[in-house]
Structure 1
Amino acid sequence: MERESMEFDVVIVGAGPAGLATACRLMQISQDSGKEITVCVVEKGSEVGAHILSGAVFEPRVLDELFSDWRDNGAPVTTAVTHDEIYLLSSETDSKLMPNAFVPKTMHNEGNYIVSVGNLCRWLATRAEALGVEIFPGFAASELLFNEDNSVKGILIGDMGVGADGQPKDSFMPGMELHAKYTVFSEGCRGHLGKQLIAKYHLDNGKTPQHYGLGFKEIWKVPAEQHEQGKVVHTGGWPLTDGASGGGFLYHMEDNQIAVGLIIDLNYKNPHLSPFDEFQRYKTHPVIAKYLAGGERLTYGARAITKGGLNSLPKMSFPGGLLIGCDAGTLNFAKIKGTHTAMKSGIVAAETLAKAMMAEVEGGKDLDCYQTHLEESWLYEELYKSRNFGPAMHKFGTFLGGAFNYIDQNWFGGKFPITLRDEHPDYAQMAPVSAYSKIDYPKPDGKLSFDKLSSVYLSSTYHEEDQPCHLRLKDNSIPLGINLTQFNEPAQRYCPAGVYEIVEEAGKPKFVINAQNCIHCKTCDIKDPSQNITWVTPEGGGGPNYPNM
């Protein structure tokens, strides 16, 4: 097919914190130097921020670096953290408040802010456009383009108006090629092009496998007497027991709103476990329920989190571009924060790219110097100090792992003379269905706990139904032939949106994919024990439409 193309100096895939920080810093350098740099950002969501979901407590130091005037220019960073509480939940009713003296330094939030990262990205987009960046929301980067020397040439925007049968509809519009001297991939966790780049260029050679969590988040409007603006609550323990780990959070935002969530490590073993139902149970614990009771649930969403840290961080440069932010895995899981680190990786990327272009280095060259620049920044130092957090939690569990991390962070400043590693991929941890008893989850009460479909409704998810399925099976026989018999097909449970079902048809089980429900969390791509599901981009603009997550 003959396709139109556009040329830019830099194409950025994904209008998240990392991508937008890259775009803004590039244009600042362009203006300061007087050398024109053309920058384009493509975003698969219907608008900037539509697919962004994060807790989130934000460290503003990176914003000070990027826009020192942010406080006076409408940045949605206004709710300062007033105090922290950390609870260990020992059962569905019992808890202990952790004394402040025993809290790891990484969990202290003095000087930080409770924010909507979606709204932060919307603000960053306005600053980027004011600097001259072209932003194209509603356009999904579907394929990689390569030069003859095997370097990345750019990306292909996915075709619009293709039917489920693969044939063009009346509304068909062919995708455009975007060519660049350098292409930056900032798709977020488990980016589908980033995944291909890591495999093609062997960027993860010598690294421990990447590790992931599944994060849930809801925003509630609560009675004023139950609200303490600026309060941050973190929890560990219940309901995640019996080989499952993770932690919960509750953040008091402005306007009597509370963000509540649960992060579940995707290395859990029990195939009967339903992350969604664990989150529903979590909200019934007295420590959490006392704030939500009588409130109204406004929004719901879920998203996978890249949390392997420094030990799993791939090489972030390749011929013709860079892999940044959560697409690579720069999140600091010891802090449960990734926005400031993603943005810093973008700033370093912009400065590296600008030097390369101003030195007239051809786009086909590998930007090996990016690693050096990264290691010279505070980002690398921060990730190094936190390198043991995840492996300690995986090896020793919530309580002993927490004790190890307290010693590592508070006594050794993150420089404990041992580096722990978790060499086991998350998907390979799932045990046979016979190894665990079935979990009987309580029915939702419609007050604190809810079902999947009503939750997905609150995510405002929409896909054009007559389009090719964006959840690809490598082998159609595996869901019933292997996953059902060995694991009772866990896709029915690990998906937080009810995408996968086993139904009975003519007396036989049938595997059904309800792709229109997909909220783009990528959990299926990560946790499927047979690694049979590949998530690819659907038609641009599809997916959730988060207002302020």
Structure 2
Amino acid sequence: MSDLPARESMEFDVVVVGAGPAGLATAIRLKQQALEQGTDISVVVVEKGSEVGAHILSGAVIDPIGLDALLPEWRSDPDRPLKTQVTTDEFMYLGHAGGVTLPNLFMPKLMNNHGNFVGSLGNVARWLGRKAEELGVEIYPGFPASEVLVEDGKVMGVATGDMGISRNGEPNANFTRGMELRAKYTIFGEGARGSLTKQMVERFGLNQGRDHQKYGIGIKELWQVQPDKFRPGLVRHSMGWPLPNNAGGGSWLYHFDDNLVSVGFVVHLNYKNPTLSPFEEFQRFKTHPMVRDVFEGGKRIGYGARAIMEGGWQSVPRLSFPGGCLVGDSAGFVNVPRIKGSHNAILSGMLCADHVFAALQAGRAHDEVAAYEESWRASPIGYDLKRVRNVKPLWSKYGTAAGVALGGLDMWLTELFGWSPFGTMKHGKPDHECLLPLDQVQPIKYDRPDGVLTFDKLSSVFLSNTNHEEDQPPHLKVKDMGLQKASELGVYGGPSQRYCPAGVYEWVEGEGGPRYQINAQNCVHCKTCDIKDPNQNITWVTPEGGGGPNYVNM
């Protein structure tokens, strides 16, 4: 590989990594600023998905404050991506056979969803992509950024991955060298646990003085339901069953557009029992008597999963470093109790763009845009996250039942008085340190799927339209296979077989004993393995261009 030809390079003012809401908002705002000032700047967005929106997955109930700020006329656009407003807002606490619906008057005002929209965040990204291109932004889907270009301690841009590398690491007949995209500033909007963002956090010590990041996994299905089961604008959330009290998480169920229902389940990745399967817990949830009726006679038409940044206010890393910035879920701007982050993603992209544009206008390049880091906590993003900073730690420390009550009290006190009796709580251990050895837990047994309401992983992955070129180096890197066998299997019983929602990992019995099989073609890029492996022995990197899911209306 050392005799590969040199990469060709292109120069830009700004390179944005990731065509999600944050990255596209950054690009749009930069171009808007340039138009207002009568100047021009070159902005390019690289996206690992085969098209803009292909890898975007969310519930999604969307707070429109971000779109209102970025593109104020969006509601009058006949092609607008969000058309269903919330009409009914319900919160349930479920037991095994029943549950209670909590009166809305008990819920803090910030949890109210009226005025929000239900829809597909992937379609929002596609629409934002078109708006960006109309302003002159160049967007290159199918070109994952695989390397950060750092010179003299400054980020100088990124390189896209080589294509046509065979599984043995050698170029094949379809080999194409990646490109260097050099820029005065590089913005990382890769989403949760982005592979390059992870490197930047470590290289520049961006998490020093901050609490460690926390994560959840969100698993989603899209259903076409019978018209008599459809309630346009209904938003329903639940906590409790089927998860045990010491494993946090909850569900959503949203009715939108034409008889579509988005149903999903979040499991916080600090759970302890290595036999717990977030995918199987989601399937069980749909069988609850207060839930299952919605799906009777319906058809499941979509599936996907992704990690969620849950650390919030106290876990947001430093956002700026020489030559670059973090935006959106790369920074961890999700409001966990609201299950919302796209509004903050857009706002962070705009805030970053304003400061980067000012730096460019001042003739600066490759320095640290410290003003962006210094401003976000006093912005609407900071206000949104600070009010809920203790909810996740309370859930983790006291369990779901007591944690929900204490979290609600904390949100009320913070909302009414701007004060919390808990101060700012710590999160406890990193998620990968939370698993107990197999011999210390009661194994969980799950029912077989019925193929009507509950399903297996492989038929689910089929609906995600996931595809990877088979003859390429694996993008799931196991550092020490001996450690994986001795610890991941020998101590913890092989939890990767259960936490992965796509059937990527298997321990297969063979003549020489158990063998670790990695079905990388199934990977939906949720990054859970990179987060939850108890030894941090698995690393997720970008696969060859365009690989992964191709979500539709997700």
What residue is the counterpart of 2:354 in the other structure? Answer: 351
1:8 aligns with 2:12: yes
What residue is the counterpart of 2:204 in the other structure? Answer: 201
Farther-moved stretch of structure 1 (187-196 vs 413-422): 413-422
Aligned counterparts, 1:120-139, within 5 A: 120-139=124-143
1:404 Cα deviation from its structure 2 partner: 1.5
What residue is the counterpart of 1:311 in the other structure? Answer: 314
SS of the equivalent of 2:491 reads helix
In the superposition, the TM-score normalised over structure 1's length comes to 0.98
What residue is the counterpart of 1:384 in the other structure? Answer: 386
CA distance in 2, matches of 1:15, 1:158: 17
Aligned counterparts, 1:292-371, within 5 A: 292-363=295-366, 365-371=367-373
User: After superposition, what is the alpha-carbon deviation per residue over 1:191-238, rounded to whole angstroms, capped at 9, x for unaligned?
Assistant: 000000000000001111100000011010111111100000000000
CA contact (8 A) 1:473 1:533 kept: yes
Task: Give the residue type in structure 2 aligned to 1:85.
Answer: E
CA contact (8 A) 2:355 2:371 kept: yes
What residue is the counterpart of 1:479 in the other structure? Answer: 484
1:517 corresponds, among 522, 530, 534, to 522
SS of the equivalent of 1:400 reads helix
SS of the equivalent of 1:477 reads helix
User: After superposition, what is the alpha-carbon deviation per residue over 1:122-170, rounded to whole angstroms, capped at 9, x for unaligned?
Assistant: 00000000000000000010011012x2100110100001000001110
What residue is the counterpart of 1:184 in the other structure? Answer: 187
CA distance in 2, matches of 1:381, 1:100: 23
2:399 corresponds, among 377, 397, 418, to 397
Farther-moved stretch of structure 1 (17-26 vs 326-335): 326-335
Aligned counterparts, 1:88-103, within 5 A: 88-91=93-96, 93-103=97-107
SS of the equivalent of 1:244 reads coil
What residue is the counterpart of 2:286 in the other structure? Answer: 283
CA distance in 2, matches of 1:72, 1:472: 47
CA distance in 2, matches of 1:222, 1:68: 33
CA contact (8 A) 1:322 1:349 kept: yes
1:507 Cα deviation from its structure 2 partner: 5.0
CA distance in 2, matches of 1:507, 1:318: 49
1:87 Cα deviation from its structure 2 partner: 0.6
CA contact (8 A) 2:119 2:257 kept: no
SS of the equivalent of 2:31 reads helix
What residue is the counterpart of 2:114 in the other structure? Answer: 110
1:412 Cα deviation from its structure 2 partner: 3.0
Task: Work out the number of aligned pairs and report it.
Answer: 546
What residue is the counterpart of 2:374 in the other structure? Answer: 372
SS of the equivalent of 1:182 reads strand
CA distance in 2, matches of 1:272, 1:373: 43
CA contact (8 A) 2:49 2:546 kept: yes
Instruction: Structure 1: state its 5+ residue gaps.
Output: none
SS of the equivalent of 1:88 reads strand
Aligned counterparts, 1:7-46, within 5 A: 7-46=11-50
CA distance in 1, matches of 2:37, 2:173: 47
CA distance in 1, matches of 2:265, 2:218: 6
User: After superposition, what is the alpha-carbon deviation per residue over 1:38-67, rounded to whole angstroms, capped at 9, x for unaligned?
Assistant: 000000000000000000100111111111
1:242 Cα deviation from its structure 2 partner: 4.9
CA distance in 2, matches of 1:491, 1:225: 40
SS of the equivalent of 1:369 reads helix
What residue is the counterpart of 1:81 in the other structure? Answer: 86
What residue is the counterpart of 1:497 in the other structure? Answer: 502
Task: Give the residue type in structure 2 aligned to 1:494.
Answer: Y
1:143 aligns with 2:147: yes
CA contact (8 A) 2:20 2:53 kept: yes
CA distance in 1, matches of 2:65, 2:287: 36
CA contact (8 A) 2:62 2:117 kept: yes
SS of the equivalent of 1:287 reads coil
Task: Give the residue type in structure 2 aligned to 1:475.
Answer: D
Which stretches of structure 1, 4 residues or longer, exceed 4 Å deviation after superposition?
none
Task: Give the residue type in structure 2 aligned to 1:423.
Answer: G
1:334 Cα deviation from its structure 2 partner: 2.2
CA RMSD of aligned residues (A): 1.0
Aligned counterparts, 1:462-473, within 5 A: 462-473=467-478
CA contact (8 A) 1:332 1:383 kept: yes
CA contact (8 A) 1:83 1:232 kept: yes
CA contact (8 A) 2:245 2:401 kept: no
What residue is the counterpart of 1:442 in the other structure? Answer: 447
CA distance in 2, matches of 1:96, 1:383: 28
User: After superposition, what is the alpha-carbon deviation per residue over 1:5-47, rounded to whole angstroms, capped at 9, x for unaligned?
Assistant: 0000000000000000000000000111012110000000000
Identity %: 52
Farther-moved stretch of structure 1 (125-134 vs 411-420): 411-420
1:342 Cα deviation from its structure 2 partner: 0.7
Task: Give the residue type in structure 2 aligned to 1:344.
Answer: L
Task: Give the residue type in structure 1 aligned to 2:509.
Answer: E
CA distance in 2, matches of 1:317, 1:203: 8
Task: Give the residue type in structure 2 aligned to 1:122.
Answer: R
SS of the equivalent of 1:351 reads helix
Task: Give the residue type in structure 2 aligned to 1:204.
Answer: N
SS of the equivalent of 1:71 reads helix
